[in-house]
């Protein structure tokens, strides 16, 4: 049976897991191995089943635990060739054993146990950044995070997804009046920054997403308020959705309670 979960999302750590009980794959790994295990345990995913980690980009909240995990567990690490080459300082800092690194290009198909995956480009201030699309039987998961803008390609992928993990990083009003310095505000709401609540909700509408659940992810704890997003989403979104709060974990079984 398929288990999937948001193990955590936001500036203090990001990771998503997909598991059939025998093979598990992570998208991003921004945690220590101890913390990762604690989070996997919550969903009954056995650490020993981890086969691969697929990386969106090399910012520490997404990648800082990748090297340690790869060295401990000997699992494969998939990230874009462009990220390896153009973010070489960040990349070498992770210390991933060379034989475990699989540099890939967008839309190249990867098979991990029963999962097939590919990545697609995003627009972020980390070279070679991507989102991921995960297929398991009839289920299709899309992880779209850390992107300043959405594209036609993103919309058409979302249209075919059954579950969407979608960034809703900031509320524009809170960002504008918040404590961040101007250069940081510009970075966040710029082309290579993050998606706002408004952008996320428009994206959902425009893509014609017809899946069965949306997880709003990567919320800023300074420039966003889960209650604001929740009330805006209630007005606009017909699909069941979950607003993922900072550092919390979410999966289908959590909602069932």
Residues in the site for Zn ion, rule: CB under 5 A? Answer: 59, 61, 146
Position with the least CB separation from Zn ion:
59
Q: How far apart are CA 23 and CA 226, in angstroms?
A: 33
**Contact at 8 Å (CB) between 133 and 140?**
yes
In the bound state with Zn ion, the residue whose beta carbon lies nearer, of 61 and 171, is 61
Q: How far apart are CA 13 and CA 65, in angstroms?
A: 9
Between the alpha carbon of residue 22 and those of residues 1, 98, 165, the distances in Å are 10, 25, 23
In the bound state with Zn ion, the residue whose beta carbon lies nearer, of 16 and 136, is 16
In the bound state with Zn ion, the residue whose beta carbon lies nearer, of 12 and 212, is 12
Q: How far is the CB of 238 from Zn ion (least distance, A)?
A: 28
Q: How far apart are CA 241 and CA 255, in angstroms?
A: 10
Q: How far is the CB of 166 from Zn ion (least distance, A)?
A: 13
Q: How far is the CB of 74 from Zn ion (least distance, A)?
A: 26
Token pair 């690490």 in the structure block, residue = 77
In the bound state with Zn ion, the residue whose beta carbon lies nearer, of 52 and 55, is 55
Q: How far is the CB of 9 from Zn ion (least distance, A)?
A: 8
Would you tell me the crossing angle of helices 197-207 and 226-236 to the nearest 10 degrees? 20
């Amino acid at each position: 049976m398929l288990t999937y979960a948001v193990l955590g999302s936001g500036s203090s750590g990001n990771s998503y897991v997909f598991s059939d009980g025998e093979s598990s794959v992570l998208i991003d790994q921004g945690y220590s191995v101890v913390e990762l295990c604690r989070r996997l345990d919550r969903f009954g995913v056995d650490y020993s089943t981890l086969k691969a980690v697929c990386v969106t980009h090399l910012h520490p909240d997404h990648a800082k635990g990748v090297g340690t995990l790869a060295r401990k567990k000997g699992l494969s690490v998939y990230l874009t060739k462009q990220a390896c080459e153009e973010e070489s300082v960040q990349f070498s800092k992770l210390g991933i054993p060379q034989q475990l690194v699989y540099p890939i290009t967008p839309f190249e198909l990867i098979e991990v146990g029963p999962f097939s995956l590919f990545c697609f480009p995003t627009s972020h201030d980390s070279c070679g950044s991507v989102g991921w699309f995960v297929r398991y039987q009839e289920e299709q998961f899309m992880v779209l995070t850390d992107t300043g803008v959405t594209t036609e390609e993103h919309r058409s992928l979302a249209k075919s997804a059954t579950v969407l993990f979608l960034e809703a990083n900031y509320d524009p009003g809170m960002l504008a009046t918040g404590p961040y310095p101007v250069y940081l505000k510009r970075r966040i709401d710029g082309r290579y920054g993050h998606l706002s609540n408004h952008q996320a909700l428009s994206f959902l509408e425009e893509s014609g997403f017809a899946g069965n659940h949306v997880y709003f992810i990567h919320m800023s704890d300074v420039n966003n308020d889960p209650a604001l997003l929740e009330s805006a989403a209630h007005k606009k979104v017909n699909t069941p959705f979950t607003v993922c709060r900072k550092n919390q974990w979410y999966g289908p079984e959590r909602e069932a309670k």
